[in-house]
Structure 1
């Protein structure tokens, strides 16, 4: 760019900027915004490491008194005030959403066209999604992630990330699942949050670099816990629960592998029994 006169020096530019801001503050023409939930986007996203205790509560009013550094709670059911309360106590907060199934009880249920709804996933009011239809599902999931970001969450747990291994009513392939899971991970990262891979053990070698941590259910019950080792080797936390296996059985395995494990009841209320 050509200048008609000599361009200002760095010192003079800074002086002019400071003078302008000061004048604006004195005259009321410049305002300083309040802190917002998006402030955490200005720093590097959170990356939980192995050895991080956690609480997973998806039902009932969230008990914010559990002395752990990480909470995983329902994104729809909890307000920004709950997230702020946890942040004030020094906790990181994960936003649970369902990325693989339609839910009749969510406020955005009407955004899903009937053509992407498959068979029941075994839970009342839920149906598998046709994850091949990424152009249809992308804006719906993006809106859910915008909600997580607006409420101030630090990370996202997108559930049902292994639809291709289930009887969904659609001819889903491993390639379909990889493409969909990477789309979700990219959408989360674009919003400055961390993202966890939920189960989907068979695809961990392909996805460990796309996700910041893992969330697993029942790897001890099904003798699958070593499959999570790539996350631990990458210095990424594995948040793990068991429902029926006794702690005396799975805790030694979890400690040997570096998993952050606890026993929970299937309803995922406040009760927890950590290793």
Structure 2
């Protein structure tokens, strides 16, 4: 496995912010990725740690602290992927979610929307998940399914409910020294850009929505963006103009990537 020389790895970390604490304690200042930062997003298959980019976004449950430490030694920052707005039957804490907070399926097998109004139930469960990310040494978290109010969840969720919940997740992450990204939820970016450290977006080019992400760029915060169906020639010129960190990926989010 290729490793960066020690000085190069240190220089990369200095460029992108402070290092994560190895003992699980919050760092003095959380990481804030800047626009144009290259990245890799891999949520399936055997993790390939040889992709030469400064940021990896990987599943928080599937990877141990040793993997995060290895990526840090290679000079990478590491984002912890979690689903915070949907229940997944295959997670080790799935039985801790009462049936009363489980709604309709969200389109993925074994997943159901959560009743995000029930913060009394969800806050301690999400706090435990974020503790896991912190204790494994992750630098940041990517909370997924953060726009339930715009979907058929089985609950009468409102925009106000979503703002409250998303801000709760951001606070829980920040309290643990973790940076946090806003996943999709384009309509609420003006209200939430100050609460989040970066954005993660899927298919804004396909749906003509990438301009909605400019508040993050204007705030000097990275936008990690992925397309699945468009060729790079269709979205990379605009992505470069806007300052997005754009990739072409396959839906399974394996190793394969093509960067702008």
Settle same-fold status: TM greater than 0.5.
Answer: yes
SS in 2 for 1:244: coil
1:38 to 8, 13, 24: 24
Structure exhibiting the larger radius of gyration computed from Cα positions: 1
Q: Which runs of 5+ in 2 are unaligned?
A: 1-20
Matches within 5 A, 1:163-178: 163-178=148-163
RMSD of equivalent CA atoms: 0.8
Aligned length: 240
1:235 to 199, 220, 223: 220
1:129 pairs with 2:114 = yes
Asked whether the equivalents of residues 55 and 71 of structure 1 are also in contact (C-alpha less than 8 Å), the reply is: yes
1:261 pairs with 2:246 = yes
Alpha-carbon deviation of 1:42? 3.3
Asked whether the equivalents of residues 37 and 149 of structure 1 are also in contact (C-alpha less than 8 Å), the reply is: no
- Describe the superposition over 1:1-31 as per-residue Cα deviations: whole angstroms up to 9, x where unpaired: xxxxxxxxxxxxxxxxxxxxxxxxxxxxxxx
1:147 match: 132
Asked whether the equivalents of residues 263 and 273 of structure 1 are also in contact (C-alpha less than 8 Å), the reply is: yes
1:158 match: 143
- Describe the superposition over 1:228-274 as per-residue Cα deviations: whole angstroms up to 9, x where unpaired: 00000000000000000110010011001000001000000000000
- Describe the superposition over 1:80-119 as per-residue Cα deviations: whole angstroms up to 9, x where unpaired: 0100000000000000000010000000001100000000
2:190 match: 205
1:77 match: 62
Alpha-carbon deviation of 1:43? 1.9
SS in 2 for 1:235: coil
Alpha-carbon deviation of 1:51? 1.4
The two structures have a TM-score, normalised by structure 1, of 0.86
Alpha-carbon deviation of 1:37? 3.8
1:53 pairs with 2:38 = yes
The two structures have a TM-score, normalised by structure 2, of 0.91
Moved over 3 A (4+): none
Question: Residues 74 and 43 from structure 1, CA distance in 2 versus in 1: closer, same or farther, beyond 3 angstroms?
Answer: same
SS in 2 for 1:94: strand
